[in-house]
Amino acid sequence: MEEKANYCLNCPTKPCATGCPLGNDIPSFIKNIKERNYKKAYNILLKTTVLQSVCGRICPHMKQCRGKCVRGIKGEPVEIGELETFVGDMAIKNQWEINKLEEKDDKKIAIVGGGPAGLTAAAFLRRKGYNVTIYEKHNELGGLLSHGIPEFRLPRGILHNVIEKIINLGINVKYNCVLGKDITMEQLKKEYNAVLLTFGANISAKMGIEGEELKGVYGGNELLENNNHPDYNGKTVVVNGGGNTAMDTSRTINRMGAKKVYVVYRRAREQMPAEQKEIDDAIKEGVEFLFQNNIVKIIGDKYVEKIECIKTELIKVEGETRLKPVNIDGSNYEIPVDYVVMAVGAKPEEEVLETLDLKRNKWGYIETGENNKTSDEKVFCAGDISGQTSTVAWAARSGRNAAENIDKYLKKNCL
């Protein structure tokens, strides 16, 4: 690992850090790996993140820190993710704790949702001395990390250790507790000085095409979250989408014994939102990509039997940064398939949102100001549910920001 660290130039301008959503001080932690000051490297990372072993493994590094590394101009960029993973895993192995409380404060904060935003906010608020309780709808914490990212990308043992370390700061957790069903917002507001909402937006969006209601059409998020799959053995499956959910779903289904897995994406490979490494890995594992193709219809009598696709061409539209896919007339063709998985985006859980008396934006997310405030001054919001960029590091950053803003609010309003 030192060889990888020595490859870093420790640029004083820290271009890599500007690409990190969490603003990790990358040159400094790498410098300490070079000097074998591993615990100091961990403490530097702790200033901005508590998810080192997670982000080191699953962040789209080439779209973030690594993509900004100056080493990448003439060659390979520094392996920042591997170095962060190394430090995070070393902290787990050596049982290095997250640093202790700065002060003690009896004010109580409820956090709804125990995913990356909620866990990060909980850790940073607890380190400020507050009394923090997480309300989690599942019987385990992690959110998307436990229920959306497959084991082959994020080993569960590592994740459990990361979560345990955060909870060991002295954070209370109420499991199997659904907002609006097992506890209401009114109860939370009465019992706590502030409430932070961090439950994600994990309901698979639909395309609105004919046949989407047939049996055998699934949402990628739901398959991963509930880990409740049909039997894929000997079956042909098509996954529609180009993001990381499409990659995770197609690779998971492929590993579960499907005869053939296609990924249909309406733009070209270069425009895919998924990390290039994930696409490479999926191809290596046998997933077939149909770039510049669009599903226009799902055909079957009760059950899915085939899909109708159409080829697309990409055109430049003035004022838009991304090329627009346009269907090519007459290029339609059919593929026999057994299952169709939609991975074309996600939206918030309407049933929960309806129980909250909070202002929403035009896309249905909770309207959240710069300081994480909602339309209720006691209620804050962070992560996907506020409509933020949905990557783990951005969710964690949003959680950290919320912790800072709640701290300011409590110091000003709750003396």
Binding site for ligand SF4 (CB under 6 A): 8-11, 15-16, 26-27, 30, 69-71, 78, 80
Nearer to ligand SF4, 10 or 389 (CB): 10
Nearer to ligand SF4, 6 or 371 (CB): 6
Which stretches within 227-327 are classed as H helix?
A: 244-255, 276-284
Kind of pairing, strands 203-204 and 346-347? Answer: antiparallel
Nearer to ligand SF4, 31 or 174 (CB): 31
Nearer to ligand SF4, 68 or 306 (CB): 68
29: left (phi over 0), alpha (psi -120 to 50) or beta: alpha
Q: Report, in Å, the least distance between residue 44 CB and ligand SF4.
A: 13
Q: Report, in Å, the least distance between residue 85 CB and ligand SF4.
A: 15
CA-based torsion, 263, 266, 267, 272: positive or negative: negative
* CB contact at 8 A, 27 and 14: yes
Nearer to ligand SF4, 85 or 252 (CB): 85
* CB contact at 8 A, 194 and 122: no
Tokens of residue 205, six digits: 């969006």
Q: What separation in angstroms does the CA of 188 have from each of 87, 180, 194?
A: 37, 11, 8
Q: Report, in Å, the least distance between residue 25 CB and ligand SF4.
A: 10
* CB contact at 8 A, 154 and 278: no
Q: Report, in Å, the least distance between residue 2 CB and ligand SF4.
A: 14
Q: Report, in Å, the least distance between residue 49 CB and ligand SF4.
A: 16
Nearer to ligand SF4, 64 or 245 (CB): 64
Kind of pairing, strands 324-327 and 306-315? Answer: antiparallel
Spatial distance between the Cα atoms of 126 and 102, rounded to a whole number of angstroms: 9
Nearer to ligand SF4, 10 or 187 (CB): 10
Nearer to ligand SF4, 69 or 272 (CB): 69
Tokens of residue 199, six digits: 């439950």
Q: Report, in Å, the least distance between residue 341 CB and ligand SF4.
A: 37
Report the half-sphere exposure of 148 (CA within 13 A, side-chain side): 25
Q: Report, in Å, the least distance between residue 103 CB and ligand SF4.
A: 34
Best CA proximity match to 407, nearest among 49, 132, 211: 132
> How many residues appear in the chain?
415
Q: Report, in Å, the least distance between residue 84 CB and ligand SF4.
A: 11
* CB contact at 8 A, 91 and 113: no
- Measured between its terminal Cα atoms, the distance across the chain in Å is 49
Q: Report, in Å, the least distance between residue 389 CB and ligand SF4.
A: 22
Nearer to ligand SF4, 30 or 282 (CB): 30
Best CA proximity match to 332, nearest among 302, 304, 310: 310
